[in-house]
């Protein structure tokens, strides 16, 4: 279909890519630990929605422009890095509110909305995801395919679907572990602080990184 080949290999490779430690995985884990399973699932859905930006970009050739233009790559890279640092600082500071004796309460509905938006931006503002799509997807599309844009879109949607499923399972597992080890919310706060620091490091690493 659309000149796509080795679909099984693509699915397996995509799952391994989605499970590799990175901003998306760490965001889902941190939100699952601090907001419970529902928060982690909302984070996974936000990331999956952000991935649509890269699917569209790959299908219409914007990722190719990003790869060809050093200026465009640098601008998006610094915007994404700044957002990761901002998110990390907010996570670290928010975990200290209320003191160590205050138990973690379930976030309100609008809190889940914020988790969704953060997940969306964490993925959408990462230029390395866009370049991964550009480098990875064409390997599974025949050079002579007359429907390359549809092939890109189909593979992108499949990658996004498997990634969202993996992140949801990760969210459920993390929430279960966190609830088993948590005592009075202390574990959640410590985890949020650690995850916030890790996000700051990821932002700095992205700012200093060259292209993939």
Where does the pLDDT of residue 173 fall: very low under 50, low under 70, confident under 90, or very high at 90 and above?
Answer: very high
Asked whether the beta carbons of 126 and 53 are under 8 A apart, the reply is: no
Residue count of the chain:
212
Mean pLDDT across 46-51 = 95
Q: What mean pLDDT value characterizes the chain?
A: 78
Q: Percentage of the chain surpassing pLDDT 90?
A: 19
Mean pLDDT across 166-188 = 77
For 4-37, the pLDDT digits (tens) are 888 888 898 888 888 877 888 889 988 888 888 9
For 185-197, the pLDDT digits (tens) are 566 666 667 767 7
Give alpha helix (H) positions in the chain.
Answer: 7-19, 23-60, 62-68, 70-94, 109-124, 127-136, 148-181, 186-208
Residue 140, C-beta contacts closer than 8 angstroms, at least 6 positions apart? 4, 5, 6, 7, 9, 10, 155
For 93-136, the pLDDT digits (tens) are 765 544 443 444 445 554 788 899 999 998 998 877 877 777 78
Q: Work out the angle at residue 172's Cα, subtended by the Cα atoms of residues 170 and 178, and round it to the nearest 5 degrees.
A: 95
User: pTM here?
Assistant: 0.72
């Amino acid at each position: 279909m659309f000149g796509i080949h080795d679909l099984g290999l693509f699915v397996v490779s995509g799952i391994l890519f989605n499970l590799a430690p990175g901003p998306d995985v760490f965001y889902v884990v941190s939100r699952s630990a601090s907001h419970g399973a529902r928060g982690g699932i909302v984070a996974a859905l936000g990331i999956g929605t952000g991935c649509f930006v890269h699917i569209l970009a790959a299908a219409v050739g914007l990722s190719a422009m990003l790869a060809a233009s050093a200026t465009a790559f640098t601008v998006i890279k610094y915007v994404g890095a700044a957002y990761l640092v901002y998110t990390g600082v907010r996570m670290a500071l928010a975990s200290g509110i209320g003191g160590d004796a205050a138990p973690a309460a379930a976030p309100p509905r609008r809190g889940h909305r914020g988790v969704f938006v953060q997940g969306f931006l964490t993925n959408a503002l990462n230029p390395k995801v866009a370049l991964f799509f550009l480098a990875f997807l064409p390997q599974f599309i025949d050079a002579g395919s007359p429907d390359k844009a549809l092939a890109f879109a189909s593979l992108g949607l499949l990658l996004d679907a498997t990634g969202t499923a993996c992140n949801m399972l990760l969210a459920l597992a993390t929430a279960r572990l966190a609830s088993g080890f948590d005592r009075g919310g202390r574990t959640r706060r410590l985890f949020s602080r650690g995850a916030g620091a890790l996000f700051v490091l990821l932002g700095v690493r992205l700012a200093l990184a060259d292209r993939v």
